[in-house]
Structure 1
Amino acid sequence: MPDAKRVTKRRGETRQRLLDAALEVFAEQGFGASTVEQVCDRAGYTRGAFYSNFVSLDELFLAMWEQRSERMLADLRDELTDAPESSSLDAAIERVLAVIPVDDTWFRVTAEFTAHALRNPALRRVVAAREEAIMATIMPILESALSAAGLRITDRRALGMALVAVHDGTTVQCLMEPDDKAVWAARQQLFINVVRAYSEGST
């Protein structure tokens, strides 16, 4: 009889290889042009291995997204946990942005998947719910960091929406001009301005 721990470990490794392969395929081919066969070929598995882990490419992408979100949230907690008990708003935002990736590969994949989700009402609702859940997790972490900077958020929902908009917009700018320090500095300043607009206190 197979050892349960070994089976579980092997299954986890198979799943991770499929996730890693899919990211490469999606980035190269585009999400809409990618197939299960391409992902399996890149990972070195059969279709059976894929369907024993995922129902569809949509489900695989959502699993990939969840994994990356969990990693980002863990990094954010670690970064802010180690922050000084009191710091300026500029310092707090700098620490936050340090662990929020601006990744060309991931941006291309997510932009294409978002377009795909907009064409599918059921999937669009799933994506919207997951984005809400991520923001609900981020906001208490951010509130704690802002409290150390002497600030209190006045409208949590509005701030969350504004931060997502700033992140998405400035990510495009930074990816288009990755070597322009002024673009990165403007990104940080925009985050600072938005936080100030939806908070009160002294910095």
Structure 2
Amino acid sequence: MQTKQQMKSKQTEEELMAAAVQVFGEKGYAAATIAEITERAGYAKGNFYRYWKSKDALFLDIMQARLHQHREERKARLDAAQDGESALEVLVDFLEAMIGDDEWPKIFLEFTVQGSGDPEVRDRLNTGIYRLSSDLFAEILSPYATDYEGLRKLGALVTALFEGYLIQRRIGSNVLSLRDLRRAILTLGRPLFNP
């Protein structure tokens, strides 16, 4: 059982994270400051450093929490999947849910581009807890296909399509729809499940 202090500490952390998402959404990741985040949450700046060493560390925790929530939501559907195509459909639904939040894709893209210049952030971004990495993608779909390396490549292609779609959407291109993205991903995956 958590003590009152532990519960208050968790509440403070969650409030800082929620304020950060708001500030990032309004100002963009790069322009947002720790002072603005703490002010929005109603805390002194020193409280921020009780939880994170940097804005990047905060954002990675936000990413991890969001992805954990989405993964919990998709777990039952993945467990019920009868074949590779239906499991892939679940993963595409997961990506569409991420796209559905208008602010998140913008912040995610900006952070990914900016963070890729920092080797530590780049390494963390390539792990499965922060994104649908090629290895995680292959691991999820491996019960349905024997070509593990092919699944990894499919995961990389899906990520490229997903992030490319986000960029197209951010610049206002209406050439591709979510339906087009879904169809492309399922078409790419079909040969791995039906050799």
Give the whole-Å Cα distance in 1 for the aligned partners of 2:168 and 2:74.
23
Partner of 2:153 in structure 1? 158
Give the whole-Å Cα distance in 1 for the aligned partners of 2:51 and 2:156.
33
1:42 to 40, 43, 54: 40
- 1:10-25 map, 5 Å: 10-25=8-23
Give the whole-Å Cα distance in 2 for the aligned partners of 1:22 and 1:9.
20
Answering whether residue 190 of structure 2 is matched by residue 196 of structure 1, we say yes
Give the whole-Å Cα distance in 1 for the aligned partners of 2:193 and 2:67.
29
- 1:177-196 map, 5 Å: 183-196=177-190
Number of equivalences = 189
Give the whole-Å Cα distance in 2 for the aligned partners of 1:92 and 1:21.
35
Amino acid at match of 2:177: V
Q: Which consecutive unaligned segments of at least 5 residues does structure 2 have?
A: none
Answering whether residue 163 of structure 2 is matched by residue 168 of structure 1, we say yes
* SS of residue matched to 1:52: helix
Most deviating of 62-71 and 124-133? 124-133
Give the whole-Å Cα distance in 2 for the aligned partners of 1:107 and 1:65.
11
Q: Which consecutive unaligned segments of at least 5 residues does structure 1 have?
A: none
TM-score if structure 1 supplies the norm length? 0.78
TM-score if structure 2 supplies the norm length? 0.81
2:89 to 69, 91, 94: 94
1:177, 1:183 within 8 Å by CA — same for their partners in 2? no
> 1:49-100, CA deviations, whole angstroms, 9 ceiling, x for partnerless residues?
11111111111011111111212222221222244x35x83x5443332233
Instruction: Give the aligned CA root-mean-square deviation in angstroms.
Output: 2.8
1:153, 1:200 within 8 Å by CA — same for their partners in 2? no
Question: Which one has a bigger Cα radius of gyration?
Answer: 1
Identity %: 23
**Structure 1 residue ranges, 4+ long, deviating more than 6 angstroms after superposition:** none
> 1:86-122, CA deviations, whole angstroms, 9 ceiling, x for partnerless residues?
5x83x54433322332032111111111222233334
Answering whether residue 54 of structure 2 is matched by residue 64 of structure 1, we say no
Amino acid at match of 1:201: N
Q: For residue 141 of structure 1, report the CA deviation from its aligned partner.
A: 2.3
1:170, 1:187 within 8 Å by CA — same for their partners in 2? yes
